[in-house]
Amino acid sequence: MELPFVSVMRGFFAPPEFCDCELGVRYSQRIERQREEFTSKDRLERYTYACRLFSKALVPPLPEGHTLESWPVDFEKPSSVQDDEYLAAIAKRKAILEAAIFFMRAIEEPEIFKKKGLCIQGYPGVGKTGLALGMAAFLSQADYYMLCLNAPALLTLIQRSEQEEQMVYTLRNAHIVLLDDLGDPESMDLAPYTVRRILTDVFEARYNASLPTMVTTGLDNEQLREQFSDSVFSIMEGLCYFYELPGINFRKE
């Protein structure tokens, strides 16, 4: 018998229900396989388009051999640091790595996390970007693609582009987004209104849609408020779990 088709997701149509006979079950299984294939292809096409759109703001991938598994939890204890402080820092780095892995599970099991974002804070060189890029590489193996963007370059690109509307729309709807190095630790000034408007628009949309979002920043909570306003920080609090990453500057190693 003929079955009506309805839109299950953008660009994919399927019957709203199936017969419970043997043929109906096999047909529903075939449709489900086709849906999964379509979803994977659509996700990759959207990611590829976004990479072209934001090519000037993309964060370079990790060097070969650098993975989430090789991300440094331990580091050599500086002579100026007390033993208990050092051990606490190691434990915190391990806990943040575990939180990142747990967060990635929420991509496939959204009921795990109430919030759909991580904000990793810390001094330059402690491994914020390396951790996020390690997550991106790990996710891509399962056909999940994190759009990794340098926040200062991205915000400048959007403000100077004739494609601002399309760029903001893409950021609002991209499946997984990383905004790396958000904010300027050397500045005490409030960010321009256009920057705050873009961040409000993007963060609010991603919060409402429960879309996975990563942020790394050298700013603490007070600096985030001062630089981007209480309004933007309030949305980030609703979107993200905040973690302060301790450590040394691994770039000097």
Q: What domains are there in the chain, each with its CATH number?
A: 29-252 (3.40.50.300)
Closest to 55 (Cα-Cα) out of 218, 143, 203, 167? 167
pLDDT digits (tens, 9 = 90+) for 50-78: 999 999 999 998 888 788 899 999 998 88
pLDDT digits (tens, 9 = 90+) for 182-218: 999 998 899 999 999 999 999 999 999 999 999 999 9
pLDDT at 54: 97
Closest to 147 (Cα-Cα) out of 215, 47, 57, 46? 47
pLDDT digits (tens, 9 = 90+) for 121-176: 999 999 999 999 999 999 988 888 999 999 999 999 999 999 999 999 999 999 99
Q: State the pLDDT confidence band at 8, using cuts at 50, 70 and 90.
A: low
Q: Are 59 and 178 in contact (CB under 8 A)?
A: yes
Cα 203 to Cα 22, 120, 135, 225, 241, distances in angstroms: 46, 16, 20, 15, 14
Q: Are 107 and 39 in contact (CB under 8 A)?
A: no
Predicted TM-score (pTM) of this structure: 0.86
Closest to 119 (Cα-Cα) out of 208, 185, 214? 214
Looking at residue 211, its amino acid is L
